[in-house]
Structure 1
Amino acid sequence: MKRIAFFSITLLLACMAGCDNKIPMEENLWPETVYLVGAKDKIINRDLNIGYEKDTIYASVAISGSLPTKEDITVTIEEFPSGIESYNQKELGSDDIKYRTLTNGIYSFPQENVVVKKGETYGTYPVHIDPSTLHIDSLYMMAFKLSGTSRFELAKEDTVVLIRLNLMNDYSGLYYMDGVIKPADNPKDSVIYKSPRTLQAVVDGNTVRMYHQKNEWSKGATDYRPDYCFNITVNPDNSVTLKSWDKFNLVSGGGKYYPEMEVYDLWYTFKEDGMLKKTRGFVYKERKNDDEVRKINDWMEENRKYDY
């Protein structure tokens, strides 16, 4: 009995010693699977600079697990346009503007597969797109899913990623108008014009579209307002040229762009209900904090012209 007891204790100690030799951080703490980054969120956003002849967006593939990969993993990714159709049907109403796929010939894939290199957890899949072929008031989306992998399993949930494409340039974004509107024949009768303005990239890398006064339109909405918007083009000398977009009755206009402050000093005359009116003021880009707001307010006060 003593020999049996001694043998049992020795075996138990050996097992405990074996367990102690295992280092948890050297073992994967959860199964290794291949998945598309962003698929869990369904939609991810990618910007396209309309000023580029060709811009590049990326879909990303990742390997789950707590340890780096021990070899290169090759993953096959493919387009999945029916994912866009499904989103339109399930998430959008019958009157909503639907997302569109890109036309063949305006985009390309410079590589066939995604390779997650040894020791890494991510790999990227680039897509080259010609942004100038996209219409500013249409909605575009690309959809991808995984179709194969050289090792590990493909994720069984959240298998499709939708990429929403947003046109932009160096002058687009959220701005704020700070100015006045006056009748040309009665300049003392003024209306304060302070309002957020979304400047949308159009035409090229130097042009944005702006809506006049309270008539701003959100992309995807069905109540498009063609009578109230115009283009602003920043010229090489930072002067600006204004041109009517569609049906806005723009008579004249001009101004200057201050790149260091990201602000336009604008004026334009237009006809509304048979009356000639003039708008003048600053259109400045959204500020990140109160200190930046104070700086732009001080700058506008120092540079505001009262010759209108």
Structure 2
Amino acid sequence: MSSPDILFRAPGLLVRMLRTPQGAIGLLLLVFVAGLALGAPWLFPEGPYDMLGAPFSEPFGEFLLGTDMLGRDIAAGIAYGARISLIVGFVAALVIVVLGTVVGGVAGYYGGRVDAAVMRVTEFFQTIPTFIGAIVIVAVLGSTLPNVVGAIAIVSWAPLARLVRAEVISVKNREFTSACLALGMSDMRIMLVQILPNVLSTITVAGSLMVATAILFESGLSFLGLGDPNIMTWGFMIGAGRAAIRTAWWMVTIPGIAVLLTVLSINLIGDALNEALNPRHKS
């Protein structure tokens, strides 16, 4: 196979995903969250920081999801927080995929000393506890959104690099790759035209799951006060409401449910994508 099904059979792939319960449910949830994020400026033009009502207003009263200790609308915070979670999740996953694919691809294709050197670096990053490593990086560089995305990517690319390396080694040893070498194809062309299409399905599934991981990381960092203080996030809302959890449960519970449903939707889509790309499901 020299061309990826994921590029040339996208409509069929989507249909196969939607035929599975997890694919349909996951896509529905993610579309809802994405729609909420895109519609935030129109649904809540006042923004998430404006004090619009009495503090600690309960849900399903004047405000659908209640207010926090300063009278800020929880629903507005959920909508604007969805934008940050999705941005961080997809941007961090993209950086992880690019870095992991390049590193793993080079190591797997060239082998020998190059592979040994690259894998030693990869193993070093894998010895670092991921969340603790992200905390240290953000604490040193500063609590800005680009630093949070960078920290998540730095501590998360190594497992993907090892996965890509294993896939590249497997594809490199196949007959069509040997034929390309015999025809005098350049290494770059072989990797881009022959090897990458054959490992793209694995990268796609792993990358989709990285989105969920990045969202959890960002929420954890914001909960600890290491997120960007100028941006409303779900983790920040949970952290701000923990002091009043006994009297205002909705301040923690509702953002927590938002994180849960978003991560769940992405994991369900990843599972459905894995099934759709599995050879035994292909026609």
TM-score (norm 1): 0.17
Q: Which has the higher contact order (CA 8 A, sep 6+)?
A: 2
Structure with greater helix percent: 2
Structure with greater strand percent: 1
